[in-house]
């Protein structure tokens, strides 16, 4: 990566001539632009991968937006950072030559939360999303149109950070705006498991195959 687009990031081009969607990899708190790089080819071999590092630092731990406490978000900052990230994706699409309308977000924890915030504040930003260990980021003031947008939610039944009812509320919120939501529960905590990857890959394969 040699281009400054407002985020430290990694760009890994996929197979030449491929029409696969570009995967936008969004790490969790304390992660960086390299954390999820191995996840991209596991989920969709041959796809472009774009992986930015969060611009916010929480005691040295990168994040995509500020929080006031665990599970309590700074909504004003979240909104601003959401638009900042969306603008970065558009700039990266122009720089690297991928289709900005054919991007699937793959977010974990904090990354999943800003991805769902982008869906709610910038509808049409993603062709779909894989949100792993997500929670409701915010509720938009006005209705948005997510008709037909495929979204996979990967939650843990024993997650000490994300309450079960919060994940269910996110599914209801997205479905209420027209998204096609698949909510999958794993017998796990907040950390990702092999089963998360296998399940998300199968879901993505079905989504790509149905287009």
pLDDT in tens, 89-122: 999 999 999 999 999 999 999 999 999 999 999 9
4 within some domain: no
Q: Per-residue b/e over 88-107, b at no fewer than 16 CB within 10 Å? A: bbeebbeeeebebebbbbbb
Between vectors from CA 79 to CA 75 and to CA 81, what angle results, nearest 5°?
Answer: 115
Signed CA dihedral, 38, 42, 48, 54: sign only:
negative
For residue 113, being part of any structural domain is answered with: yes
Q: Residue ranges of the alpha helices (H) in 10-74?
A: 39-43
Which structural domain range is residue 14 located in?
Answer: 9-210
Q: Which of 9, 117, 159, 196 is catalytic?
A: 159
159 annotated active-site: yes
C-alpha 4/C-alpha 182 separation (Å) is: 36
pLDDT at 1: 47
In a domain, 156, yes or no: yes
Q: Give the model's pLDDT for residue 71.
A: 80
pLDDT of 2 reads 52
Give the residue from 47, 46, 7 showing the smallest Cα distance to 27: 7
Q: For residue 20, is it within any domain?
A: yes
Instruction: Note if 83 is an active site residue.
Output: no
The residue ranges of the chain whose pLDDT is under 50 are 1
- Per-residue model confidence as pLDDT tens digits over 133-145: 999 999 998 899 9
Question: How many domains does the structure of the chain reveal?
Answer: 1
What CATH number is attached to the domain comprising 98?
3.40.50.1820
Q: Quick check: is 1 in a domain?
A: no
Distance CA 9, CA 84 (A): 14
27 in catalytic set: no
In a domain, 143, yes or no: yes
User: How buried is residue 36: exposed, middle or buried, by Cβ count under 10 Å (0-12/13-18/19+)?
Assistant: buried
Report the C-alpha gap between 20 and 14 in whole angstroms: 9
Active-site residue identified among 9, 35, 51, 109: 109
């Amino acid at each position: 990566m040699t281009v400054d687009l407002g985020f430290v990031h990694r760009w890994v081009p996929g197979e030449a001539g491929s029409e696969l969607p570009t995967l936008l990899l969004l790490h969790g708190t304390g992660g960086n632009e390299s954390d999820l790089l191995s996840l991209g080819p596991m989920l969709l071999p041959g796809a472009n991968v774009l992986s930015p590092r969060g611009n916010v630092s929480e005691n040295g731990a990168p994040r995509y937006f500020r929080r006031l406490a665990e599970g309590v978000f700074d909504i004003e900052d979240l909104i601003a950072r959401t638009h900042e990230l969306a603008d970065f994706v558009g700039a990266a699409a122009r720089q690297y030559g991928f289709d900005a309308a054919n991007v699937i977000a793959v977010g974990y924890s904090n990354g999943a939360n800003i991805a769902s915030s982008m869906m709610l504040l910038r509808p049409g930003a993603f062709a779909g999303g894989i949100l792993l260990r997500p929670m409701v980021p915010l509720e938009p003031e006005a209705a948005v149109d997510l008709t037909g947008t495929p979204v996979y939610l990967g939650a843990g039944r024993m997650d000490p950070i994300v309450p079960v009812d919060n994940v269910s509320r996110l599914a209801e919120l997205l479905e209420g705006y027209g998204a096609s939501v698949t909510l999958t529960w794993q017998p796990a905590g907040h950390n990702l498991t092999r089963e998360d990857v296998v399940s998300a890959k199968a879901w993505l394969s079905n989504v790509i195959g149905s287009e």
